[in-house]
Amino acid sequence: MKRIAGSLLLLWLGTHVAQAQIQSFSHVVVIVQENRTPDNLFQGLCVSPYGSATKCSITPTSSQYNIQTKNWKDKTSPGGVIQPTPVALANAYDLGHSHPSWVTQCDLTSGACLMDGAAGVPCSGTCPTKPQFKLVANTNGILNPYLNLATQYGWANYMFQTNQGPSFPAHQFLFGGTSAPSASQDAMGIFAAENSKPPGTTGCIAPAGTTVQLIQPDGTENQTIYPCFEHQTIPDLLPAAVSWRYYTPSAGSIWTAPNAIQHICQSTGMGGQCVGAAWTQNVDLTSADVLTDIANCNLRSVSWVIPTAQNSDHAKSNDGGGPSWVASIVNAIGNSTACDNGTGYWQNTAILITWDDWGGWYDHEPPTILPAPQGDYQYGFRVPLLVVSAYTPAGYINNLRHDFGSILRFVEHNFGIHEGALNFADARANGDLTAFFNLTAAPRPFLPVAAPKNANFFLKDKRPQLDPDDD
């Protein structure tokens, strides 16, 4: 009897040890929202029910959120500070987030941003006084899905967009590690710095006459180029068995990063279409198809998920649907039980949620400026980063400095690729996000994220799929 009991105990231990460990994730999902800073969007981390005021500090300990909710720097206000006021998530104006806006807000002095120039960032739409100095109000709990994810999983105190500018270059960095037209130009510090002009279709299918400004190593932007580039991206590094998909509202937008990579797009010509095999097999022009693919056990190994305008958090464009949109994806993965040979997706998927740029909103934390030649365009301002998985401890706060290159390094690390293999932002980044995960721990049970709208709403939403903005 003792021998049988001992054998049963060993069997039980073996089963649970095996269950408690994975070597790597089978799936990495990168959800990209729009145009927010931690100070602007996540003040709710500092108040009940998500913690007391002692949970926030501008000089945080390992258990404090680096969020400032008062005494923001403003060199145009008496005493050099201003007190922020509330604004709705679905507000009625948009702020400048071009490279010149970044330069104004940074107020670079002696190689460091003073972070006191936000009042000089332009505003369009119905603009109140000092529109840059706002905290998003958690009216009717609209932000609760984000706050729940931040407190129940992982939060990065120091996540910065790689580029000092808007969405087109930001998404190039998130997909391929650079906004340079070529690998040689990345090495020289020459990058696409702005959104393409005129607004509309961009990338290798843009109409003739479409250009994007290049920033030179001395910071000047006096050259333009047609926005069709050629260099390796993360999908080019993935082993043959590792699949990928890019979910996006439209083919030619500045948020659809693969459209600007010639060997992926294989354009029929200026004003034409992308027809390459890598494009047709991996770029999905319905954002909500990510929910369908999860339900149908068809989630790819690496996924980028771009929202529609209504769900983007982009100022002046969104209708407040962003927190529910993100929650619906997390819930779909968390509630998956039948996929991947009956294990479900929750135990083998890492979800990385970030915002593509700062959107012109105030943030108090100055970025590190890289050495020349990249330093004239890297790094940009802070953006939020939430890390969600069954192996991320509740309430984990990470105090390492990250950027979009850190996301790419994590993908490389997870799928057995040499970290920094692109030799772009992935090589320049300091970390790979692995500190957010304890893969030797037993997987945490999934707790659904409460949200006003669920996956069924987004799957049945008949409104036109609009790009996050009309920039």
Give 177-235 pLDDT, tens digit per residue: 999 999 999 999 999 999 999 999 999 999 999 999 999 999 999 999 999 999 999 99
Mean pLDDT for the stretch of residues 108-121: 96
At residue 61, the pLDDT reads: 87
At residue 21, the pLDDT reads: 73
At residue 2, the pLDDT reads: 39
CB 323 within 8 A of CB 331: no
Mean pLDDT for the stretch of residues 351-376: 97
| Residue 49, pLDDT above cutoff 60 | no
At residue 220, the pLDDT reads: 96
Query: What whole-number distance in Å separates Cα of residue 38 and Cα of residue 48?
Result: 17
At residue 4, the pLDDT reads: 41
More confident residue, 111 or 100: 100
pLDDT band of 48, cuts 50, 70, 90: low
pLDDT band of 63, cuts 50, 70, 90: confident
Q: HEC states along the chain?
A: CHHHHHHHHHHHHHHHHHHCCCCCCCEEEEEEECCCCHHHHCHHHHCCCCCCHHHECCCCCCCCECCCCCCEECCCCHHHEECCEEECCCCCEEECCCHHHHHHHHCEECCEECCCCHHHCCEEECCCCCCCCEEECCHHHCCHHHHHHHHHCEEEEEEECCCCCCHHHHHHHHHHCCCCCCHHHHHHCCEECCCCECCCCCHHHCCCCCEEEEECCCCCCCEEECCCECCCCHHHHCCCCCCEEEECCCCCCCCCHHHHEHHHHCECCCCCCECCHHHHHHEECCCCHHHHHHHCCCCCCEEEECCCHHHCCCCCCCCCCHHHHHHHHHHHHHCCCCHHHHCCCHHHEEEEEEECCCCCCCCCCCCCCCCCCHHHCCCCCECCEEEECCCCCCCEEEEEEEEHHHHHHHHHHHCCCCCCCCCCHHHHCCCCCHHHCCCCCCCCCCCCCCCCCCHHHHHHCCCCCCCCCCC
At residue 10, the pLDDT reads: 38
Q: Which two tokens stand for residue 438?
A: 């304890």
Contacts 24+ apart (CB under 8 A), 406-413: 406/159, 406/430, 406/431, 406/432, 406/433, 407/30, 407/174, 407/352, 407/354, 407/433, 408/174, 408/177, 408/234, 409/433, 410/28, 410/350, 410/352, 410/434, 411/28, 411/234, 411/302, 412/234, 412/237
pLDDT band of 471, cuts 50, 70, 90: confident
| Residue 244, pLDDT above cutoff 80 | yes
| Residue 160, pLDDT above cutoff 90 | yes
Residues with Cβ within 8 Å of 48's Cβ and at least 6 positions away in sequence, in order, are none
| Residue 18, pLDDT above cutoff 80 | no
- Percent of the chain residues topping a pLDDT of 70: 94
Query: What whole-number distance in Å separates Cα of residue 307 and Cα of residue 152?
Result: 23
Rounded to the nearest integer, the mean pLDDT of the chain is: 94
Q: What is the CATH number of domain 24-69+140-176+231-460?
A: 3.40.720.10
Mean pLDDT for the stretch of residues 254-278: 98
At residue 255, the pLDDT reads: 98
Q: Which of 56-60, 112-116, 173-177, 444-448 has the lowest mean pLDDT?
A: 56-60
Query: What whole-number distance in Å separates Cα of residue 260 and Cα of residue 264?
Result: 8
Q: Look at phi and psi of residue 60 and say left if phi exceeds 0, alpha if psi is from -120 to 50, else beta.
A: beta
**Chain centroid to CA 53:** 27
pLDDT band of 15, cuts 50, 70, 90: very low
Query: What whole-number distance in Å separates Cα of residue 58 and Cα of residue 67?
Result: 6
Query: What whole-number distance in Å separates Cα of residue 260 and Cα of residue 181?
Result: 9
Q: How does pLDDT run across 407-426, given as a tens digit for each residue? A: 999 999 999 999 999 999 99
Q: Look at phi and psi of residue 110 and say left if phi exceeds 0, alpha if psi is from -120 to 50, else beta.
A: left
pLDDT band of 54, cuts 50, 70, 90: low
CB 175 within 8 A of CB 233: yes
